[in-house]
Amino acid sequence: MPSHLKRCSQIVAGNAAVGVLALQGDVSEHISAFESAIQNLGLTIPVVPVRKAEQILDLMALAIPGGESTTIMRLIDKNGMRNIIQNFKGGIFATCAGMVVSARDLINETRFTPLDLLDITVNRNAFGRQRESFEADLQISGFDTPFHAIFIRAPVITRAGPDVTILAEIPQGIVAAKKGKKLILSFHPEISHDLRMHEYFLKDVLGQK
């Protein structure tokens, strides 16, 4: 286990923390990005890996990382996390596969039922195998300069409900959206050197200033 995961797991229980769902995917990358973003903002919020359903209850926010959506959803159900995540009142920061499992509806996907965390329809493999990875400079609502986004077999939102705020789009669909304390992205900000998405989530979505 990476040293910073060991360090985070030793934080005293009960502290309001940002949790990163540690079942599969870019777990350590999100933990590192949130730790750096928290430091940049001058905050003192612990960041913890989440492997058990009961850990979610004391969090201020939960990140659902990129990875393999079918595997992540299977492990969420296996670990009894579905209802707890669906009823969680804190923030949700979901990226790539996290966007897929957070959706209400999926296009051409019948292997699992997503969490329905917000009213969106998602195309899980929007770019096909010929374009598994690419990068793009996104104009994101509220950002002064473009965000250089990394897409890896990325999903896109094809439909967003009236209560969902669209933050960024590309020709294939919506790639960043939010509702209340939920921020949903189709790209991987955790592997970028730009921490603005994590800082935006903490400062503007959660109101930590």
Question: Average of pLDDT values for 194-203?
Answer: 97
Active site annotation includes 190: yes
Q: pTM for the whole thing?
A: 0.90
**What phi, psi does 183 have (nearest 5°)?**
-120, 125
Name the active-site residue from 8, 29, 30, 188: 188
In this prediction, residue 113 carries a pLDDT of 96
Extract the tokens encoding 47: 């960041």
pLDDT for 32-78, tens place per residue? 999 999 999 999 999 999 999 999 999 999 999 999 999 999 999 99
5: pLDDT confidence band, cut at 50, 70 and 90? very low
13: pLDDT confidence band, cut at 50, 70 and 90? very low
Question: Average of pLDDT values for 174-194?
Answer: 96
**What phi, psi does 20 have (nearest 5°)?**
-115, 120
Q: How far is CA 47 from CA 34, 62, 121, in A?
A: 7, 10, 30
Name the active-site residue from 29, 109, 190, 199: 190
More confident site: 1 or 196: 196
Contact 98, 60 (CB under 8 A): no
195: pLDDT confidence band, cut at 50, 70 and 90? very high
Name the active-site residue from 8, 29, 30, 96: 96
pLDDT for 71-126, tens place per residue? 999 999 999 999 999 999 999 999 999 999 999 999 988 899 999 999 999 998 77
Phi-psi group of 140: left, alpha or beta (phi > 0 → left; psi -120 to 50 → alpha; rest → beta): beta
pLDDT for 118-153, tens place per residue? 999 999 877 765 456 889 999 999 999 999 999 998
**Distance (Å, whole) CA 161 – CA 182:** 14
With H, G, I as helix, E, B as strand and everything else as coil, classify residue 73: helix
In this prediction, residue 193 carries a pLDDT of 87
208: pLDDT confidence band, cut at 50, 70 and 90? confident
What domains are defined for the chain?
Answer: 3-205 (3.40.50.880)
Q: How far is CA 181 from CA 12, 99, 138, in A?
A: 25, 14, 22
2: pLDDT confidence band, cut at 50, 70 and 90? very low
6: pLDDT confidence band, cut at 50, 70 and 90? very low
In this prediction, residue 125 carries a pLDDT of 77
With H, G, I as helix, E, B as strand and everything else as coil, classify residue 51: coil
